[in-house]
């Protein structure tokens, strides 16, 4: 009985505390209409038997381990997959072209997540598979934006070539494979001069492109790779959907598979774009 009275008292106190005068309260104001909304844009291609690889790299393979109803009555499915580090949408870790560079698991996440800008060279690159993104292209972006590339930016280069993916002839320049096919590669890339200019004059976190390589298809010495990776600037290759990004003011989250000692890895990369609501 004593316990019951205690709980009754507790209940009454609780009710009293909750019994705020509602009549004199101002009616709830509706929150102001949203001025913008965030959109997540996927910049990765899927892995499948269509995934584009370097002509000398082992391609993606998916093997079914099991698929179907088990004898215990539940459904189960699982696969094995194998892939080269460098194929499809992937990251080049600094060690790919720099002896003491970071391996993929060592890249600080700060280099892979953050504010980004896009340099759009679609109109000049799309019809020129040997196009080299120039210092002038970078300066043109800065002139148009009225500012230099902000410190700590992730830079994306839009050539438009991802629209050809996975057509190997159009995207790579050849559907042949093997060492002799390397000379047949044609797709745009970043000129070594522009790579040099970027590392010397700007402070970028990482860089990405919508072609198979940051060096153009006809490159022999992969100088842009060397210049960037020696500065521990990771490179993202085979990006897609760059046409859906603005020229600045968006965020990138690029998370590669954490392969210990890896020189590169499959990469899930997304952009977060703030769009004004109509
Ligand atoms: Zn690579």
Tens digit of pLDDT for each residue in 45-79? Answer: 999 999 999 999 999 999 999 999 999 999 999 99
Terminal alpha carbon distance of the chain: 64
Share of the chain above pLDDT 90, in %: 86
CB 199 within 8 A of CB 231: yes
Report, as an integer, the average pLDDT of 239-262. Answer: 98
CA of 57 to the centre of ligand 1 (A): 10
pLDDT (0 to 100) of residue 2: 53
Domains and CATH numbers, the chain: 36-49+85-276 (3.50.30.50)
3: three-class secondary structure by DSSP: helix
CA of 237 to the centre of ligand 1 (A): 6
Mean pLDDT of the chain: 92
Report, as an integer, the average pLDDT of 7-20. Answer: 50
CA of 249 to the centre of ligand 1 (A): 27
Q: At what angle do helices 135-145 and 192-201 cross, to 10 degrees?
A: 50
CB 207 within 8 A of CB 149: no
CA atoms within 13 A on the CB side of 110: 5
Q: Which residue has the higher pLDDT, 31 or 132?
A: 132
Confidence of residue 20 (pLDDT cuts 50, 70, 90): very low
CA of 77 to the centre of ligand 1 (A): 31
Tokens in use for 155?
Answer: 């830079």
pLDDT (0 to 100) of residue 17: 47
Residue 237 has pLDDT above 60, yes or no: yes
CA of 264 to the centre of ligand 1 (A): 6
CA of 222 to the centre of ligand 1 (A): 11
pLDDT (0 to 100) of residue 33: 64
Report, as an integer, the average pLDDT of 198-220. Answer: 98
Tokens in use for 226?
Answer: 């060397």
- How many angstroms separate the CA atoms of 91 and 232, rounded? 12
CA of 136 to the centre of ligand 1 (A): 25
CA of 219 to the centre of ligand 1 (A): 14
- How many angstroms separate the CA atoms of 206 and 228, rounded? 9
In the block, tokens 């047949």 appear at: 184
What tens digit of pLDDT does each residue of 115-173 get? 999 999 999 999 999 999 999 999 999 999 999 999 999 999 999 999 999 999 999 99
CA of 64 to the centre of ligand 1 (A): 27
The sign one gets for the Cα dihedral 52, 58, 63, 65 is negative
The helix or strand, by DSSP H or E, that contains position 201, with its residue range, turns out to be helix 192-201
């Amino acid at each position: 009985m004593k316990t019951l009275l205690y709980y009754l008292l507790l209940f009454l106190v609780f009710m009293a505390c909750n019994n705020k005068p509602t009549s004199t309260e101002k009616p709830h104001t509706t929150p102001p209409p949203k001025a913008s909304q965030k959109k997540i844009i996927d910049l990765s291609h899927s892995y499948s038997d269509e995934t584009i690889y370097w002509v000398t790299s082992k391609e993606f393979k998916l093997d079914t381990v099991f698929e179907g109803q088990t004898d215990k009555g539940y459904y189960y499915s699982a696969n094995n997959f194998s892939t080269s580090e460098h194929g499809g949408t992937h990251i080049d870790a600094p060690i790919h072209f720099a002896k003491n560079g970071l391996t993929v698991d060592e890249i600080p996440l700060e280099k892979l997540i953050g504010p980004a800008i896009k340099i759009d060279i679609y109109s000049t690159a799309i019809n020129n598979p040997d196009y080299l993104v120039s210092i002038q292209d970078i300066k043109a972006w800065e002139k148009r934006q009225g500012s230099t590339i902000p410190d700590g930016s992730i830079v994306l280069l839009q050539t438009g070539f991802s629209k050809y993916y996975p057509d190997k002839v159009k995207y790579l320049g050849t559907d042949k494979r093997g060492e002799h096919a390397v000379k047949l590669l044609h797709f745009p890339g970043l000129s070594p001069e522009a790579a040099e200019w970027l590392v010397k004059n700007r402070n970028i976190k990482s860089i990405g492109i919508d072609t198979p390589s940051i060096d153009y298809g006809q490159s022999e010495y992969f100088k842009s790779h060397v210049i960037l990776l020696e500065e521990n600037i990771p490179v993202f290759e085979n990006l897609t959907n760059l046409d859906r990004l603005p020229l600045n003011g968006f965020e990138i989250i690029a998370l590669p598979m954490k392969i210990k000692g890896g020189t590169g890895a499959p990469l899930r990369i997304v952009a977060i774009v703030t769009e004004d609501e109509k």
